[in-house]
Every structure is written in C-alpha cells, then in structure tokens.
Homo-oligomer: A and B are copies of this chain.
Amino acid sequence: MRPFADDAFHAGNSVLGRYLDALVAALSGIDAGEVATYIPQLGRADPSDFGIAIVTADGRLYRAGTWDRAVTIQSVSKPFMYGQALTELGRERVLASVGVEPTGERFNSIVLDEQHNRAFNPMVNSGAIVTASLLTRATAEAGAADMLDLFSRLAGRRLDIDAEVFRSEDETGHRNRAIAWLMLNSGMIEPEPDMVLDLYFRQCSVLVNCADLAAMACTLATLGRQPMTGDQVFSPEVTRDVLSVMTTCGMYDYAGQWLYDVGLPAKSGVSGMIMAVVPGQIGLAVYSPKLDAVGNSVRGIEVCRTFARDFGLHTCTSALDPAAAIRRIYGARDVHSLRQRTGAEREVLAAVGDAFAAIELTGPLYFAAAERVASEASRQARVAGTVVLDFRRVESIDAAALDLLSRIPGLLGSAGSRVLMTEIPDRLAARLGAALAAQGGEDALGTPTTEAALEAFEDGVLGAARVSGRADAMRLDQAELFSGLDPQDIVLLENAAASFSYAPGTHIITQGEAALAFYVVARGVVSITIPVAEGTRRISAVGPGQAFGELAMLDGGLRSANAVASGPVVCHAFAIDQIREIAERRPRAYATILGNLARSLSDRLRAANVQIGTFE
C-alpha cells in the first residue's frame, strides 16, 4: 500500500475528486486522434480509456476514470533520466552532450546540433539517448536496476518493466538505433550503442498508472522531495533545471503555444500519458491513448488546458502575497511580558511602548517576503531601539530570504537599533546562524525568546526610571494585596507570616496539590507555569511585593498551576487557616484584602483582553 495521506482513498467524496469526475465525463466525448501502433502492444490500448490523477504537495491523491490502468511510461521517462544525469554528472558535463534549445522538429527527428556537437535537448529521442548513455553501468542489468530504483523512489512504490513491450521496442526501434549510431559516429556518445539503447528501451517500458505518474510529477513540483515518502530524490537545483527544459521542450514542436495556453512544465508520451507540474502545488497525470499529429494525447492536452484555465495555474501568474509574511507587529504598549508589574511600573512602561517593536513572521520566507520584512524592520527602527523578529511561525527560508535577513542586524545596528531574532525553529537554526555569522550579526541570536526580550526591555526601562521596588526593603505594607490595611492589621499579618528562602528552580507550589497557603514575594522572581503538551508553559511571573497562590483564599481546593523560583527567592508564606482566623476577627480587613485581590485580577483580565485583541 502506498503511503498517501489519509484523505487519499476518500477522494471521490472530495471537492476536487468530484471536479475530476465531472472533467472525465465532460471530455469523454472527444474521440479525435489515433492510437499509436509503431509497436503492437501500444496498438492494443483501449481507445476509450481515460484517467486522471492529481497528487498534492502534502501527498493527497485525487483520481477519476481509469486512473489505475498501468501502461508504459514511454517518453515521460525522459525528464527523470535527465534529472538523474544532472545529479550524477553535474550540469556542465551534461550540457556538453545535450543542449536545452527546442528544435521545432518532430520528437524522433534525426537532426542534431552540429554547432555544439550535441543533441538539441533531452526531451527529443536523440537527446534522451545521449542522456541514457550518461547513465549506463558496467552491465545492462545494473543500469536497468538503478533506473528502476530511481523511478520507484519518484513514484513512492515499487515499479516494474513490461518485458513484452521492452522486447518489442528493442526489436523494432530501428530509427532510434540509427540515431544512436549516428551519434556514436559524431562522438556524441561513448558507450556501445546496444548498451545505451537497452537502457533507453527499458526506461520507456516502465509500467505506471496515473497515480504513479502524478506522484512523480509532484516530486518535481515540490523541489525534488517525494510528497508521500519525504525522500529527497533530486536537489532543488536539478529539479528546477528539469522543469525548465520541460517548459520549453516538453511538448514537442508546440512549445510557444503550450506555454501560452497552459503554461505548465509538462511531458507527453506515445502511450497516451501526459504529466504536468504546477510548481509548489501539484503533479497532474492524464491517460488517454489517442494521439494528435505531433504525438500528444488529444484528451490529455484538453484536460491540461481546461484544468489550467479553470484553476488559473499558469506559471506566469503568482499567488504570492509578500505582505502575508508579517503576521503582526506589536509594541511594549500592546503586549506585556508575563512579569506582573505594579501600577506605577505599568504607567512608566505605557509611556515608552514605541521603543520596542516585535515583528512576527509567518509562512515561507522567499525573496519578496524577506524584502518586505527588511523594509518593515527599517521602518520600525526609526523609532524603536529594539526590534525583535519572531520566527516561531516561519515554515522555511530560501536562500534569497536568508541572504537578505542576515544583513538586517548589521544595517540597523549601524543606524543605532538592536535587532533580535527570536523563537528560531530548530530546523532553521543552523542555516540562519551561519548566514548571520557570515555578516557578523550572530549577536542577533543572543536572546532566544520574544518573552525574554520583552521582559529584559521592560526591566531596562524600569531600572532607568527607578520605580521598581527595592527587593531587600520589601515590607508587608508595601505588598499590593495588603494595600489600605490599618497598621494593626499589618502587625497581625506579620505575626502570621513565615519567611522562606528557595533555591533557583524550586517548585514552591505544584499543580494538583492541596492549596493550604499563599505567598508574597520578598525578593526575586517566581514563575507561574502550567503543564502543556510539550512540557510546561510560563503564564505569569511575579516579583517583590506581589502575591501568588492567593486564590487559595477563595476556594482552598487544589492548585491550578505551579510556582517555580526563577532565581534565589525569598517569600512570606501565609497559612490559609490563619488567614481565615484573621478574617473572622477582622472582617473589614479581610474585605480590603479581597478587594485588592479582585482589583489585581481585574487589571490582569483587562491586560489579557488587550492582548487577545492584539493577537486576533
């Protein structure tokens, strides 16, 4: 069973599956053309056969009609062998033997590029025979085995050769034999022509159905990575070269009109198969054996034409929207660090919000997207001393984007702004690090999270403004929770409090435990965390004068979060029992404390609502 994604075999019930069914029904009436007969096996094809398959970049299959009829691949094999030759021998060596110019001649033309002593291009028979000559092995069997391995990797399942078709091609391919000997005569090929032709005839005899061929086409759409198996069969560079040649030379003497009408890299074969590639999106395969005068499947051409028209898939139109690369931009005014701040601190921070800007990037970063990011970063840096580029939602960065992005820290740094690149996904870290290092910009990676960058920025502002409470001097009457109490109530609380010191990382509170006490921080910072799928998530942090675990006053019950010492921490702890005692004796004081608690919750709720508004 091939590893298609889960929707694969429900595809008939899908939007696209139904479209393909309708397309088969609509075009089945076309009856023009003739089934190829140059070898007897092709002549036996059922002229009414008509199948279509599409494979998407994430490996979903859609199919209609006789999509599962296995026929020989014929000339559709040529782009794949060309890709393999480029992979094994490199561009320069291959270009020496076969060019990339369309010929304007028939596919089995015997005309060669005399000026460069090479075949015109790898999509005509002469060029394909040269390509096969570059891939022969010590024995015919080894060559055939490697070829079959390659095609199987491209299709995502084991393929086989139709032995009868191979024998028939081998026995009747006189014209191809003539081409091969002519090229040997001109020094265009080196190995013994029979070996070369053996491989060439075998590659044409590989059996594929539309799903196989659509998967092979999709491997070219996704820069050489097989969409179901993830196997990187060709490099992106090789894939691009293969698609280039398919674009200009894939449809025989029809190149300009094909690009004009359909606009997709494609390749047809004499068995009636056509494959077409929508770069980045899908591979398409059609099978219908009746051919037009130049050897392309009549219905196949019509499917490609209709599909490209209905779905606007032409290579010269682009759906890219560089603006989509920037998900949102926010300042320290809109989003605060998880560190809870006092009222005085919040006022100071509100006044300097523009000095910090975070730009959240998303999706794949390609040239125009990165250009937009660079431009936006420059714009923000006119006001902001710290510009954060948050990469957490970046899918991929291509070479163009990497180059542009790596230059940003240096450029804005020389203009006085600090650029931090945060939340780098593991899969991107090495490439981004190397690119930054090449530009002397590795400092941009010094702060791993946006949260840390935001908290550090706030701390810097508050330190400069000297509004933050001095930790070593925290008295209980300075605690937010106890604000407005009479001195005698403060004394009661001081008598009830027990002071504890915690080493960094200590779990002061653990989620799920009974809530028997609450705490006021005297020194240090305590992180409030909750368990999530990937570990724990910090949802808040409290510092000197602020309380945690205080909801225990309301319910008792169980702890809903952890409290962990971020560094060395000193806390005043209050047993709930004792607080209840004080509440009984001093109900007004208790109401003041609850009022303070409600006010703090209300402030935090308001900040959370602002943040939700910013995030939406």
Contact status A101-B403, CB under 8 Å:
no
A404 CB–B CB distance under 8 Å: yes
A243 CB–B CB distance under 8 Å: yes
Given contacts A58-B322, A609-B608, A612-B615, are A602 and B400 in contact (CB under 8 A)? no
Task: With a 10 A CB-CB cut-off, give which of A104, A375, A583 has the most chain B CB atoms.
Answer: A375
Specify which of B315, B400, B616 is in contact with A316 (CB 8 Å cutoff): B315
Interface residues of A in 294-322 (CB under 8 A from B): 310-322
Interface residues of A in 483-539 (CB under 8 A from B): 532, 537, 539
Q: Using CB atoms, name the residue of chain B closest to A608.
A: B608
CB distance from A128 to the nearest CB of B (A): 16
Contact status B400-A311, CB under 8 Å:
yes
Contact status B259-A403, CB under 8 Å:
no
Task: With a 10 A CB-CB cut-off, give which of A248, A319, A363, A605 has the most chain B CB atoms.
Answer: A319
Q: How would residues 250 to 278 of chain A score, 1 for a CB under 8 Å from any chain B CB and 0 otherwise?
A: 00000111011001010000000000001
Contact status A259-B263, CB under 8 Å:
no
Q: Which residues of B contact A320 (CB under 8 A)?
A: 279-281, 319-320, 364
CB distance from A27 to the nearest CB of B (A): 17
Task: With a 10 A CB-CB cut-off, give which of A58, A241, A551, A594 has the most chain B CB atoms.
Answer: A594
A526 CA / B15 CA spacing, docked (Å): 42
Contact status A318-B281, CB under 8 Å:
yes
Interface residues on chain A, size class: 35 or more
CB distance from A310 to the nearest CB of B (A): 7
Q: Which residues of B contact A404 (CB under 8 A)?
A: 15-16, 19
A560 CB–B CB distance under 8 Å: yes
Q: How would residues 338 to 373 of chain A score, 1 for a CB under 8 Å from any chain B CB and 0 otherwise?
A: 000000000000000000000000111111110110
Given contacts A244-B260, A597-B598, A598-B598, are A400 and B312 in contact (CB under 8 A)? yes
A282 CB–B CB distance under 8 Å: yes
Contact status A319-B15, CB under 8 Å:
no
Contact status B363-A312, CB under 8 Å:
no
A588 CB–B CB distance under 8 Å: yes
A157 CB–B CB distance under 8 Å: no
Contact status B279-A411, CB under 8 Å:
no
Q: Using CB atoms, name the residue of chain B closest to A414.
A: B13
Given contacts A375-B60, A602-B551, A605-B601, are A367 and B313 in contact (CB under 8 A)? yes
Specify which of B19, B315, B368 is in contact with A281 (CB 8 Å cutoff): B368
Contact status A256-B249, CB under 8 Å:
yes
Contact status A241-B260, CB under 8 Å:
yes
A137 CB–B CB distance under 8 Å: no
Specify which of B408, B606, B612 is in contact with A560 (CB 8 Å cutoff): B606
A18 CA / B404 CA spacing, docked (Å): 10
Contact status A101-B248, CB under 8 Å:
no
Q: How would residues 390 to 409 of chain A score, 1 for a CB under 8 Å from any chain B CB and 0 otherwise?
A: 00000110111001100110
Specify which of B243, B374, B532 is in contact with A15 (CB 8 Å cutoff): B374
A7 CB–B CB distance under 8 Å: yes
Q: Which residues of B contact A318 (CB under 8 A)?
A: 221, 279-281
Contact status A400-B313, CB under 8 Å:
yes
Task: With a 10 A CB-CB cut-off, give which of A310, A371, A588, A608 has the most chain B CB atoms.
Answer: A371
Specify which of B240, B323, B408, B615 is in contact with A615 (CB 8 Å cutoff): B615
Contact status A367-B312, CB under 8 Å:
yes
A14 CB–B CB distance under 8 Å: yes
Q: Using CB atoms, name the residue of chain B closest to A560.
A: B606
Contact status B101-A257, CB under 8 Å:
yes
A247 CB–B CB distance under 8 Å: yes
A611 CB–B CB distance under 8 Å: yes
A226 CA / B583 CA spacing, docked (Å): 72
Contact status A367-B281, CB under 8 Å:
yes
A125 CB–B CB distance under 8 Å: no
Specify which of B280, B314, B594 is in contact with A591 (CB 8 Å cutoff): B594
A599 CB–B CB distance under 8 Å: yes
CB distance from A266 to the nearest CB of B (A): 12
Specify which of B263, B312, B407, B537 is in contact with A399 (CB 8 Å cutoff): B312
Q: Which residues of B contact A278 (CB under 8 A)?
A: 367-368
Q: Which residues of B contact A473 (CB under 8 A)?
A: none
Task: With a 10 A CB-CB cut-off, give which of A310, A369, A612 has the most chain B CB atoms.
Answer: A612
Contact status A243-B379, CB under 8 Å:
no
CB distance from A486 to the nearest CB of B (A): 14
Given contacts A16-B374, A608-B612, A612-B615, are A316 and B282 in contact (CB under 8 A)? no
Contact status A56-B15, CB under 8 Å:
no
Q: Which residues of B contact A265 (CB under 8 A)?
A: 316
A191 CB–B CB distance under 8 Å: no
Q: Which residues of B contact A18 (CB under 8 A)?
A: 407, 411
Contact status A100-B257, CB under 8 Å:
yes
A121 CB–B CB distance under 8 Å: yes
Given contacts A240-B317, A311-B400, are A591 and B583 in contact (CB under 8 A)? yes
Q: Using CB atoms, name the residue of chain B closest to A400.
A: B311
5 additional contacts (CB under 8 A) given A99-B256, A315-B315, A363-B363: A236-B317, A279-B320, A281-B366, A315-B316, A611-B612
Q: 5 A-B Cβ contacts within 8 A? A: A14-B374, A100-B260, A240-B317, A244-B314, A611-B612
The list of the 8 closest CB pairs from A to B, nearest first, reads: A280-B318, A319-B366, A587-B587, A311-B400, A594-B594, A608-B608, A281-B368, A243-B316
